[in-house]
Amino acid sequence: MKIKLIILLLGFSLFGYSQKKAKKTVKIKPKTEFVTELMSKMTLDEKLGQLNLPTSGDITTGSASNSNVAKNIEDGKVGGLFNIKSVQKIKEVQKIAVEKSRLKIPLLFGMDVIHGYETTFPIPLGLSCTWDMKLIERSAQIAAQEASADGINWTFSPMVDISRDPRWGRVSEGSGEDPFLGSQIAKAMVHGYQGDDLSKNNTILSCVKHFALYGAPDAGRDYNTVDMSRIKMYNDYFPPYKAAVDAGVGSVMASFNEVEGIPATGNKWLMTDVLRKQWGFKGFVVTDFTGINEMVDHGMGDLQTVSALALNAGIEMDMVGEGFLTTLKKSLDENKVSMEQIDNAVRLILNAKYDLGLFEDPYKYCDEKRAKTEVFTTSNRVEARKIATQSLVLLKNNNQLLPLKKSGTIALIGPLADAKENMAGTWSVASKMENSVSLLAGIKELAGNSTKVLYAKGSNLDYDPLFEEKATMFGKTLHRDSRTAAVLLAEALKIANQSDVIVAALGESAEMSGESSSRTNLSIPQAQKDLLQELLKTGKPVVLVLFTGRPLVLVQENETVPAILNTWFAGSEAGSAIADVLFGNENPSGKLTATFPRNVGQVPIYYNQKNTGRPLGNKEGKFEKFRSNYIDERNEPLFPFGFGLSYSTFDYSNLKISSDKMNFNEKVNVIVDVKNTGNYDGKEVVQLYIRDMVGSVTRPIKELKGFQKIMLKKGEKQTVTFEISVEELKFYNSDLQFIAEPGVFQVFVGTNSSTENKVSFELIK
């Protein structure tokens, strides 16, 4: 690589990153040599500054030149910033770093680019329901393209925490309950963000989070204690993090929770033994927001103590807390940390900046032309709309009520029907909510001139205005209607009775899920449930368009509503994408990646559970005394993992296996015929599950080990083949050895995790 340098006639060498024209172009030195030379010139304060990641504060208002953060940047006490948006602001701040600080070291600029930038895609839980790794990777590529065009070079994504408890609000930000699928998505997202060359100006550094186990807090309450065995960690919760590391992710974020009694931010076993020694991670680790400081409340000591604990554990960058900046010098003097540890942390952060090409051109992400032409483009919106259609999950469709006809009168009713501010969902910090497409706008766009669309709100989100206020933060208002519930209902019933079909847009608001949005009640808010029941009493056919960031309890709705389309929060093009599916322009193909319980008392609930010594012997929901069941509820979920209907139907037949025996060096093929037996062309996710019948430790009753999303025209049949090697049969045993054991394996292939269509083979030595 080449770099333009201004030759400074000074008594010491400075790194010239000025915007002025260079007099000479020279080759930049190889990374190790370059970083070593730079570090040799750094003071201790400048080194500690590289470990400091403050939020932008008032820089976002444009007052970068006179803010406290700006003074720290000039003094070399900042390694990066986050939550600052736009090329103009970022360029102004970067200029301080590379033209006013002593060593001219450029900054990292991070942002929570979670599911898109200004072009917003479905929330991650919704994206995972596409089961399409190419689409998921493409969504990350577009996010990186837009973010990098607007000055961002680092994203705190993907979140790969496995979660089996829908009470936890951040289930919306992950990919569901399964470690195999979660691992495939982790790899796709990292590749999408980082590409094959981080030095390109349309790729950004990825940060996998939250390491580790963040998705399994006690009681489903965010930030709460996590406690589990190591065998469960390795088999069920670690795989997606490791997959991201194997994919070359550049950074890792520590989680808030404790692991085996020690907060992850200060857990050396986690950050050093597992992440670096076992998995070979080469990037840097950043804390979550004030993660170091919060160890004080965990009871781990004062700020100096916990800051030293974090560095010694393997943390390189301190987000917001400034414990590293303000205490490590004293800890070094007291031999509580070593210079070697500080240098190692600094080197890893400088390596990342080198890999991003910032030492070659610190303004590479500050091209105002790109910002004007590559963000929220028509082509990106077209792709976002297409991807969103693939994320929607059809949960019920009695008598083929859907797709809707483009004729007659449609009554669109519900507090989420005309709520464009909520369409992007949680963690959409860069999204311009005013540009999102509401369901009302989407339906009107597609309905055509022969269709009359009537609209009424019908109810507020909830009867309680204080609850609604908490559930509509960050500008995602639902414009609460001050009229009484009776008046709102009467208005809705008036148009319902004029219609041929009712579309009820109900569920959660965008901020009812996400960070610090845990719930004990997984039902649709009562005001909306009451509205729905009144709409059903009209005798008109009702389609429930469900908005949610988590699995909900929908027993009553499933029993009474003829059609349910789960749309999650589908992004900036949500309204158009949902309308595409409602009217049949697109055939729904999404499949659930998180189990929907019948009752919150079943939680945590997931498909790949283990048998007890007293398993329930029936699938009919019949109570059996002295068996592992409830006396007041069935064991099975309302909707299982992998479930999702289509406007078409698919028949599985001729399941067979290439051999009933396989040694450790061989592979077997599992073959099945899948036929589209319906009247619509459609996509089907063919899912393969394996059960290890006997193990040295207890094994799950079923584990996802393969899937293929195929397109079939109506009447078309396709033979689908899965290859099974010993790798799909491995697990961590009680000694945490990753092994496969000889024995019999059952293989299930079908349309969701409840399939009983199976063949068997034996693994032999």
Long-range contacts of 3-7 (CB under 8 A, 24+ apart): 3/27, 3/28, 3/359, 3/360, 3/361
416 contact partners, CB below 8 Å, separation of at least 6: 422, 439, 461, 478, 505, 506, 507, 509, 545, 547
Using left for φ > 0, alpha for ψ between -120 and 50, and beta otherwise, residue 545 falls in beta
Question: b or e along 86-116 (b: 16 or more beta carbons within 10 Å of the residue's beta carbon)?
Answer: bbebbbbbbbbbbeebebbbbbbbbbbbbbb
Point out the catalytic residue in the list 288, 318, 462, 580.
288
| CB neighbour list of residue 45: distance below 8 Å, 6 or more residues apart | 75, 76, 77, 329
For every residue of 78-121, DSSP letters joined together read -SEEES--SHHHHHHHHHHHHHTSSS-PPPEEEE---SBSSSB-
Residue type at 667 in one-letter notation: K
For the chain, what's the residue count?
765
In whole angstroms, what is the distance from residue 517 CA to residue 511 CA? Answer: 7
Distance CA 36, CA 42 (A): 10
User: What phi, psi does 470 have (nearest 5°)?
Assistant: -65, -30
- Planar angle of CA 116, 120, 122, nearest 5 degrees: 95
Residue 273: active-site member: no
How far is it, in rounded angstroms, from Cα 350 to Cα 39? 9
Q: Which residue bears the tokens 């034996």?
A: 762
φ/ψ of 451, rounded to 5, equals -115, 130
Gap between the Cα atoms of 584 and 589, Å rounded: 12
DSSP states of 179-205 as a string? HHHHHHHHHHHHHHHHTT-TTSTT--E
Instruction: Return d(Cα 545, Cα 422) in angstroms, integer.
Output: 14
Q: Whose structure tokens read 């993992």?
A: 641
For the chain, the 3-state helix, strand and coil shares in percent, each to the nearest 5, are: 35, 20, 45
What CA–CA distances, in Å, run from 1 to 34, 35, 745?
A: 12, 15, 53
Give the catalytic positions in this structure.
288
